[in-house]
A and B are shown apart, each in its own frame.
Chain A
Amino acid sequence: MEGHTDFVAEILKGKVDSAKLITTEGARLIEGILIGRHFSEAPIITARICGICPVVHKLSSIKAIENAFKIKPTRQTVKLRKVLELAQIIHSHALHLFFLSLPDFFGVENDLILVKKYPKETKSALAIREWALKAIETIGGRAVHPIACEVGGFKVLPQRGELRNLANQFEPMLKNALTLVNLTLKIKYPKLKRKTIFISLANKDEYAIYDGDLKILSDTVKIIKAKDFNRDIKEIEEPYRAAKSATLKGEPFMVGALARINNNREKLNPLAKGILKGAHFKDPEYNVFLNIPAQAIEIVHCLEELSGLLNDLSSTLEPEKSLGSKLNVIGGANPLGREVVGADAVEAPRGTLYHHYKIDKNGYIKECTIITPTVSYLKNLEEDIKAYLPQVMNLNPQKRSLKIRALIRAYDPCISCATH
């Protein structure tokens, strides 16, 4: 699990009744240290919140700052960013699915044993991760903490041929993805149904990942602007952990693959949609264990989407200068020359990720708020553990712990992101 450790341990020690998740990751105070820094530092510094999803922090930060400065990136820039995001989701999901969550359901102690037991699936998971990482490296300059993307566009562009090579790998990667899908669909997941609110981006043109409004699905559907994310969603501090948590007007809510599928299932690409049909998800599906097959289905969707984008870009990519080429140096001017506020969200692998900045007239940051997916769903996770407890209460403590651990891992929590 990313971030970990006592997060699980406290629960395993038997303090399950209160269903409090304790985090002991040290506070890095990212939002605090950004105050007084130049805006061009924000995408670089916030990427360091998380080593598994640096792409989405970087993009979320860039989009929020572009909104503040009223910079509209070119269509080509948006396409390239989408490639980065889709690849980010694929490699994060592949890691979580195969290496971090499946051992719980195959009765093996850890992932290293799983690797030995399922050589074919291991190969598929590794290959698909490698390919997605290669895509990020090609466009971003590096897989972990990509470099080339900045406010306004890209510092350098990839070659058409490089994109063509990636696109040519589509068929074998799809095969790998289907191997993982089959594995996740074979599992008999525990039954857990607790009504909750699902939140994700949504947009009329596509399965929203990079851009969209915020869709809030409860008994009704409400659409608000993504920049207003923190109008009704508030972060709370709790005395037992450094990670904050969030609620929507006091109610816990769910973000991530399951929320996205519940909100946007009709926008999935054809293959992914077909698999979803066969997976018998309810509408909406409340069982959070199904976040695991939901991630597998999203891998297929993202691959289909990437295939289209990569084919397109590999024949249309033109040299173009970043709109921010003069801005992104320390001390570079605020193009509007007055205090501005900007916010935006993207869909990170684990759910909606929100960045908000206030920037002074000289381009230095005055205020910063970052709400990560794990912060968003932490309360929901605690409620689900409470709801799940009666089912596992009669098991011996060790078995009970394993069951609860499996539930926590189905959420794919990232405590590095939560305690930023």
Chain B
Amino acid sequence: MKKNKKPKVAIISLTSCEGCQFVMLDQGKKFLDILKKVDLEEFRLVEDEPMFSDHYDICIVEGNPVTRENIKFLKEMRLRSKILVVLGNCAALGGVWEIKNYGDKKKIIRSVYKKMKVENPDIKEVDNFVKVDLTIPGCPITGEDFLETIHQLLQGKIRRLPQNPVCWECQMNGYECLLQKGEICLGPITLAGCDAVCLKSKQACWGCRGLFEGAKAENLMNYLLQNFTREQINHVMEVFGCRDSINKALEKK
């Protein structure tokens, strides 16, 4: 048999909307070109019966481990994989479902299921369960981040994202500052790389890419508290699961 030297890749999805996988697919030809360079052995979005391999060079994980089955699968895949990349906000920061961590979980589930027993754990980020080598952030991820990260990975490099705030990109693009306009915007502390896409549409940044290293969370909090209630600020921080990491950053100070 001919020896195959292409890196073996798995793309797996835990509980999520699968939007990040669609961003990947939506790269169209560029995505298909990447596929030519790898052995894709597990990608259930397009293939229902994957071959299971003992070893993967790269495992890309989308979604959040909400069920015990999800956790088991994630841990198994970690053991089999050299590099584990997490894809998107659900995996990296918990996803919008992390909102329930701040409410009464039992009450929340009873408002959805009257009698069914459904697993209802606290939502935790993937790195609480396994070691994560690389994160592609965002809700959803950007196609550019994905292509560049994988491109570098295939050359044996671990990509480091430039640590800038969304504000930086927002200003470069000349968009209107919504913070100054009087909205709660997390742009000053959120990791750039999205090209301030929300601000382009006059939607304030709600932090889906998480904090950048060195973000001054306390400055922004003090500023926001002059004009908004803590509850209002919490709401915005909770939607994309960054309330816990912002609180952690505040505690450090």
Residues of A near any B CB (own CB < 8 A): 1-5, 8-9, 12, 24-33, 35-38, 41, 44-45, 48-52, 54, 95, 99-100, 109-112, 115, 126, 129-130, 133, 140-145, 147-148, 155-156, 237-239, 242, 329-331, 367, 405, 416
Q: Which stretch, B52-60, B93-101, B242-250, touches the partner chain A?
A: B93-101
Residues of B contacting A242 with CB < 8 Å? Answer: 116, 118
Knowing A5-B44, A33-B108, say if A155 contacts B201 (CB, 8 Å).
yes
Residues of A contacting B239 with CB < 8 Å? Answer: 41, 44-45
Shortest 9 CB-CB contacts between residues of A and residues of B: A51-B19, A26-B66, A26-B15, A141-B201, A32-B108, A147-B201, A51-B17, A148-B201, A110-B47
Knowing A33-B108, A51-B20, A330-B184, say if A239 contacts B116 (CB, 8 Å).
yes
Report yes or no: A27 in contact with B69, Cβ–Cβ below 8 A. Answer: no
Rounded to whole angstroms, the CA-CA distance of A143 and B107 in the bound complex is: 34
Report yes or no: A27 in contact with B66, Cβ–Cβ below 8 A. Answer: yes
Chain A residue nearest to B116 in the complex (CB): A237
**Please, how many residues of chain B have a CB less than 8 angstroms from a CB on the other chain?**
65
Report yes or no: B18 in contact with A28, Cβ–Cβ below 8 A. Answer: no
Residues of B near any A CB (own CB < 8 A): 14-23, 25-26, 28-29, 32, 35, 40, 44-49, 64-67, 69-70, 95-97, 99-100, 103, 107-109, 111-116, 118-120, 139-140, 183-184, 197-198, 200-204, 206, 228-229, 232, 235-236, 239
Report yes or no: B235 in contact with A48, Cβ–Cβ below 8 A. Answer: no
Knowing A48-B95, A51-B21, say if A330 contacts B201 (CB, 8 Å).
no
A172, chain B: closest CB distance, angstroms? 15
B224, chain A: closest CB distance, angstroms? 11
A334, chain B: closest CB distance, angstroms? 15
Q: Of residues B28, B48, B66, B113, which shows the largest number of chain A Cβ atoms within 10 Å of its Cβ?
A: B48
Report yes or no: B202 in contact with A156, Cβ–Cβ below 8 A. Answer: yes
Report yes or no: A112 in contact with B40, Cβ–Cβ below 8 A. Answer: yes
Residues of A contacting B18 with CB < 8 Å? Answer: 2-3, 50-52, 416
Rounded to whole angstroms, the CA-CA distance of A38 and B99 in the bound complex is: 13
Chain A residue nearest to B184 in the complex (CB): A330
Report yes or no: B235 in contact with A145, Cβ–Cβ below 8 A. Answer: no
Cβ-defined partner of B97 (8 Å) among A33, A50, A99, A111: A33
Question: Can you give 13 contacting A-B residue pairs, CB < 8 Å?
Answer: A5-B44, A26-B70, A27-B119, A32-B108, A33-B100, A51-B20, A112-B40, A140-B201, A143-B23, A144-B22, A144-B140, A145-B140, A416-B16
Rounded to whole angstroms, the CA-CA distance of A28 and B123 in the bound complex is: 10
Rounded to whole angstroms, the CA-CA distance of A52 and B16 in the bound complex is: 11
Residues of B contacting A367 with CB < 8 Å? Answer: 111
Chain A residue nearest to B31 in the complex (CB): A126
A120, chain B: closest CB distance, angstroms? 14
Rounded to whole angstroms, the CA-CA distance of A108 and B120 in the bound complex is: 39
B155, chain A: closest CB distance, angstroms? 23
Knowing A27-B119, A237-B116, say if A49 contacts B17 (CB, 8 Å).
yes
Rounded to whole angstroms, the CA-CA distance of A32 and B26 in the bound complex is: 31
Report yes or no: A1 in contact with B119, Cβ–Cβ below 8 A. Answer: no
Residues of A contacting B45 with CB < 8 Å? Answer: 1-2, 4
B236, chain A: closest CB distance, angstroms? 6
Residues of B contacting A140 with CB < 8 Å? Answer: 201
Cβ-defined partner of A330 (8 Å) among B16, B26, B70, B235: B235
Rounded to whole angstroms, the CA-CA distance of A49 and B18 in the bound complex is: 9
Residues of A contacting B16 with CB < 8 Å? Answer: 51, 416
